[in-house]
Chain A
Amino acid sequence: MENILEARNINKHFKKPVLFHVLKDISFSVKEGEFASIMGKSGCGKSTLLYVLSTMDTDYEGQLFLHGELVSGQPADKLAYIRNKHIGFVFQFHYLLAEFTVLENVMLPARKLAERSYEEIEQKAMEKLQILGIDKLALKKASQISGGEKQRVAIARALINDPVIIMGDEPTGNLDSHNSENVFNIFRELSDEQGLSLLIVTHDQDFADKTDRIIQMEDGRILA
């Protein structure tokens, strides 16, 4: 199967407060339809790795390929476009725009991409909300819904532009076991039914055990 995401010899240093080699020669890949998780102790660099892979952090050495295309060294606007079109994000703390409605939150990345008309985007956003079972909340303000709901809205937003990969930074870290289960099931379905690749950083051993592959990290290196 095709490699969706490939990292080759990625090194990263923190220069402040002291020079610190945080990512050490990391090479790995995520295949199409693969549901992978990254595990490791706090401070082992797993979140840092995720942000390098997400193209948001450009301060590293090495090469990053998305869909076989070199991403490293591209201009910031091009990277923003790549994030917009190909990568979906889910964070630990929901990260919705509080003053916008749920529907607007989901629509924003698609409106930025501007490949479809407003009506089409609206319809598509509703579909995504329906898949996640929160279409009833569409017109509520993002600040008025519960934590579990917020995370599902964030997933709907991550899906709006039909990305090739979804990245999550402890997406269940802030949720109770019931909601964690829920989110995991949603990810599982997306992977199995839509062939989406997922790369999730997590602390949660149960969560990780249920994924296709666990990437173990320690002191800035990948163990297995």
Chain B
Amino acid sequence: MIQRSVIMSIAKTHLLSKLKQTIIAALGVTFGIGSYITLVSFMTGLNNMLDDLILNQTPHIHIYNEIQPSKQQPVDIYEALSGSLNMVRSIKPKQTQKKIHNAQPLIDLLEKDPRVRGALPQVKTQIFYIAGPIDLGGNLTGVNILQEAELSNLGDYIVEGSPQDLENTANAIILGSGVAEKMSLEIGERVQVNTVQGELFPLKVVGIYQSGISDIDNIQSYTNLKTAQKILGQPENYITDINVKLYDTDDAVGLAKKIEEQYGLRAVDVQTANAQFETGNTVRNLISYSVSVTLLLVAGFGIYNILNMLIYEKMNDIAILKATGFTGRDVQWVFMSQALIIGIIGGVTGLLVGYLLSVVISNTPFETEALPTIETYPVNFDPWFYIIGISFAIVATFLAGYLPSKRAKKIDPVRIINRL
């Protein structure tokens, strides 16, 4: 049987009598846990920001009609030649329409799929922007702006004006920031767009779009789906792309494959489109975790050292306790409790320090042209980091205390008493 109160009062007296060492040991843990929390929160915050920057602009599945040569040439189908080696040289794709055939029924079908959050129709086309004497090449995308704002983060990147303005204004356009700058256009002014077919079409600038990626901002603009169809002289069922948003991006690969097989369209999932990006993410996570684990290991060794020293100093105490009827387990618990007290106190202050540092970082201004939506450094305040942090502190101090305390348990009081 263990009398916890006696054990605790001995442990407490030991710790208080060596207050400096105790504080240093606890600070080791505080430092380890604090830096773990700060590092992981900041790292994952940055990672999430980069995710948002790149991934949110890529749909989970992008469906479109790709111009490509037919995979099967007539000669392959002809039965009489099926056994022979048929060679067709210089195959060229034939001119097909860019529009997705029967797009609306496909969208309706996708929307019914429980994995799909939304399927967004788009009309993409190349145009020239014309304002005064300047003409610039670019891309114009017709979208259902309110739906886009809700399901993708498009709304976040409209730095001036709002999605509502585009919805409510006839023949309006949201210009890419690069385009607007080059042509000195501001909200309320007019820009003319020239289609590949040669039609000229005046549009009113109601917003500025800035993704943070200048290659995009220099060419990309948005308008309403209907306006885009009108500019191209196409009917309302003219849709060139469908962007699918899913609840879980892990479903993207399977669904994309199914769409390709079933409808003969090109469907690119987000994983394929951003394979290198994912690798970068993994590597960054790996770095932040290995740094954190190193810090915690160092803290653990600090505790191990200090307990070892303490046990050397307290040999006599251990012998007396054992001589007066304390069991080996009691003595072990005296030192285990000390390790755990150090771990818990150091861990909790570590969480506080980590939290405070994270708050400071998250309030530090971080303004960059490339990231219009970000004003301060991004920090991820995931409660899981705190749970992991305190658990690690306790587990590490437990392990660091275990070996020295086991030694204390085994100390033979007769040898200690005889030695003096």
The one of A51, A97, A113 that contacts B325, using a Cβ cutoff of 8 Å = A113
A77-B327 in contact given A56-B414, A97-B317, A111-B6 (Cβ < 8 Å): yes
A18 within 8 A of B: no
List, in ascending order, chain A residues with CB within 8 A of B381's CB. none
Counting from the closest, the 8 A-B pairs by CB-CB distance are A84-B325, A99-B17, A111-B6, A80-B327, A109-B324, A83-B325, A51-B414, A114-B3
For residue B418, which residue of chain A has the nearest CB?
A47
In the complex, chain B residues 1-59 whose Cβ is within 8 Å of any chain A Cβ = 1, 3, 5-6, 9-10, 13-14, 16-17
A111-B3 in contact given A97-B317, A99-B13, A99-B17 (Cβ < 8 Å): yes
Residues in B lying within 8 Å of A, measured CB to CB: 1, 3, 5-6, 9-10, 13-14, 16-17, 316-317, 319-330, 413-414, 417-418, 420
A98 CA / B323 CA spacing, docked (Å) = 16
A100 within 8 A of B: yes
In the complex, chain A residues 88-107 whose Cβ is within 8 Å of any chain B Cβ = 89, 91-93, 95-100, 104
A157 within 8 A of B: yes
The one of B17, B326, B413, B414 that contacts A112, using a Cβ cutoff of 8 Å = B326
List, in ascending order, chain A residues with CB within 8 A of B420's CB. 92-93
A95 CA / B318 CA spacing, docked (Å) = 10
Closest CB-CB distance, B174 to chain A, in whole Å?
74
Residues in A lying within 8 Å of B, measured CB to CB: 47, 51, 54, 56-57, 76-77, 80-85, 89, 91-93, 95-100, 104, 108-109, 111-114, 118, 157, 161, 169
Asked whether, in the complex, the Cβ of B6 is within 8 Å of the Cβ of A99, the reply is no
List, in ascending order, chain B residues with CB within 8 A of A109's CB. 324-325
Q: Which of B16, B317, B327 has the most CB of A within 10 A?
A: B327
Q: Give 14 A-B contacts (CB < 8 Å), ordered by A residue.
A: A56-B323, A76-B327, A77-B329, A81-B327, A83-B323, A85-B325, A93-B420, A95-B323, A95-B417, A99-B13, A104-B9, A108-B321, A112-B3, A114-B6
A84-B329 in contact given A91-B417, A112-B3 (Cβ < 8 Å): no
Asked whether, in the complex, the Cβ of A80 is within 8 Å of the Cβ of B414, the reply is no
A169-B327 in contact given A111-B5, A111-B6 (Cβ < 8 Å): no
A91 CA / B324 CA spacing, docked (Å) = 11
Closest CB-CB distance, A115 to chain B, in whole Å?
11
A99-B328 in contact given A51-B414, A112-B3 (Cβ < 8 Å): no
List, in ascending order, chain A residues with CB within 8 A of B417's CB. 51, 91, 95, 169
Closest CB-CB distance, A109 to chain B, in whole Å?
4
Closest CB-CB distance, A183 to chain B, in whole Å?
18
Asked whether, in the complex, the Cβ of A54 is within 8 Å of the Cβ of B323, the reply is yes
Asked whether, in the complex, the Cβ of A112 is within 8 Å of the Cβ of B418, the reply is no
The one of B3, B320, B413 that contacts A97, using a Cβ cutoff of 8 Å = B320
List, in ascending order, chain B residues with CB within 8 A of A85's CB. 325
List, in ascending order, chain A residues with CB within 8 A of B327's CB. 76-77, 80-81
Asked whether, in the complex, the Cβ of B328 is within 8 Å of the Cβ of A76, the reply is yes
Asked whether, in the complex, the Cβ of B322 is within 8 Å of the Cβ of A81, the reply is no
A99 CA / B9 CA spacing, docked (Å) = 12
Asked whether, in the complex, the Cβ of A112 is within 8 Å of the Cβ of B6, the reply is yes
